[in-house]
């Protein structure tokens, strides 16, 4: 079947949300172009630690549905980790309890159970979750999208009206603050330290009584240490004192981290909103605009579920 002009879609934004949405649309028979300011290697998504878990995202009930659908896809992709960057790795979600807010995951998340005292010195959950190496996964998404007939154009957009297609999908993340405009969108700054892996093969997330986060994620050839969540902070420059504090907090959980050689520092701005905006808007000229942004630090976690819903909105 020949794809006509009415099937054309422009997806604005080339991070994990934009690329996944574009891929789903292309594989459902649409002619899709992605407009992106930066190559995937320089997007906010490239900085993500990328452990699957719905982290601080609303509306929570929908987010869990999107996350569980994404979990199904990641579990399949983990069958070829070298190509997709997705691996199923065991670890500890500190401060989680199965009889509390995390009961939604029971029966759906592999290996989910309470931790033992030896595994974590407090309440926690043990689980086998997708851990995504974004340096591999984002290029894999890009190439699968191109294989489905999609095209990617590098361009800076100052207004969504520039995208002249019957359907436009807005996946611009923090950029939507100016493009929509949506002043409710705000940055939450996250800083990571990349170190040589001293032999750690499980991940861990933890939060102390003061709300300070500590987490470490083993990725191929390195260990990612985090992290921070600084509301309203726009700086992309790594703060040496913050980096030292991150290493210190992680070393309190695994002492061998203290001596690990630092390889790099990373900073990203999570696009946070009180609730994800995933909805269809009919423009005055009859064209369709679908918004899919505001996922905060859970973009990777909900990417596939949101992409499928955005695709349905684009078609409906």
pLDDT of residue 5: 53
Q: Which residues are annotated as a binding site?
A: 44-45, 157, 172, 215, 270, 296-301
pLDDT of residue 4: 45
| CA-wise closest residue to 131 among 71, 89, 72, 190 | 89
For the whole model, what pTM was predicted? 0.95
Q: Which residues are annotated as a binding site for FAD?
A: 44-45, 157, 172, 296-301
The pair of structure tokens assigned to 274 is 């009180």
pLDDT of residue 98: 86
- Residues in contact with 245: Cβ distance below 8 Å, sequence separation at least 6, in sequence order: none
Displacement of CA 296 from its chain's centroid (Å): 8
Residues 24, 305: contact at Cβ < 8 Å?
A: no
Q: What is the CATH number of the domain that holds 121?
A: 3.40.50.720
The pair of structure tokens assigned to 297 is 């630090």
Rounded to the nearest 5°, which phi and psi values hold at 98? Answer: -65, -30
Q: Which residues of the chain fall short of a pLDDT of 70?
A: 1-5
Q: How far is the C-alpha of 60 from the C-alpha of 141, rounded, in Å?
A: 26
CB atoms < 10 A from the CB of 126, how many? 18
pLDDT of residue 293: 98
Residues 271, 286: contact at Cβ < 8 Å?
A: no
Q: Which residues are annotated as a binding site for D-dopa?
A: 215, 270, 297
Domain count, the chain: 1
Rounded to the nearest 5°, which phi and psi values hold at 216? Answer: -140, 140
Domain carrying residue 78: 5-315
DSSP string computed for 128-172 = EEEEE-HHHHHHHHHHHHHHTT-EEEE---S-GGG--SSEEEE--
């Amino acid at each position: 079947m020949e794809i006509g002009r009415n099937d054309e879609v422009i997806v604005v934004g080339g991070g994990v949300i934009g690329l996944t949405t574009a891929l789903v649309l292309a594989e459902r028979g649409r002619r899709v172009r992605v407009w992106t300011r930066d190559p995937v290697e320089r997007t906010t998504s490239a900085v993500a630690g990328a452990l699957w878990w719905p982290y601080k995202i609303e509306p929570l009930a929908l987010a869990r549905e999107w996350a569980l659908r994404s979990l199904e896809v990641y579990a399949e992709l983990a069958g070829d980790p070298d190509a997709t960057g997705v691996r199923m790795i065991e670890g500890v979600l500190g401060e989680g309890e199965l009889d509390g807010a995390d009961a939604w995951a029971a029966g759906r998340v592999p290996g989910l159970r309470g931790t033992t005292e030896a595994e974590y010195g407090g309440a926690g959950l043990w689980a086998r979750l997708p851990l995504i190496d974004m340096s591999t996964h984002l290029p894999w998404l890009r190439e699968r999208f191109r294989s489905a007939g999609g095209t990617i154009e590098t361009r800076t957009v100052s207004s969504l009206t520039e995208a002249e297609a019957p359907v436009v999908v807005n996946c611009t993340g923090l950029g939507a603050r100016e493009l929509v405009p949506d002043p409710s969108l705000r940055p939450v700054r996250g800083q990571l330290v990349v170190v040589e892996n001293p032999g750690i093969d499980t991940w861990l997330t933890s939060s102390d009584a003061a709300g300070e986060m500590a987490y470490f994620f083993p990725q191929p050839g390195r260990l990612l240490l985090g992290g921070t969540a600084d509301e309203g902070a726009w700086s992309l420059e790594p703060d040496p004192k913050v980096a030292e504090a991150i290493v210190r907090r992680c070393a309190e959980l695994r002492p061998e981290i203290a001596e690990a050689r630092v390889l790099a520092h990373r900073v990203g701005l999570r696009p946070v909103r009180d609730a994800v905006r995933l909805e269809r808007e009919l423009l005055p000229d009859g064209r369709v605009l679908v918004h899919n942004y505001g996922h905060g630090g859970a973009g990777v976690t909900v990417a596939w579920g949101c992409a499928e819903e955005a695709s349905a909105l684009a078609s409906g």
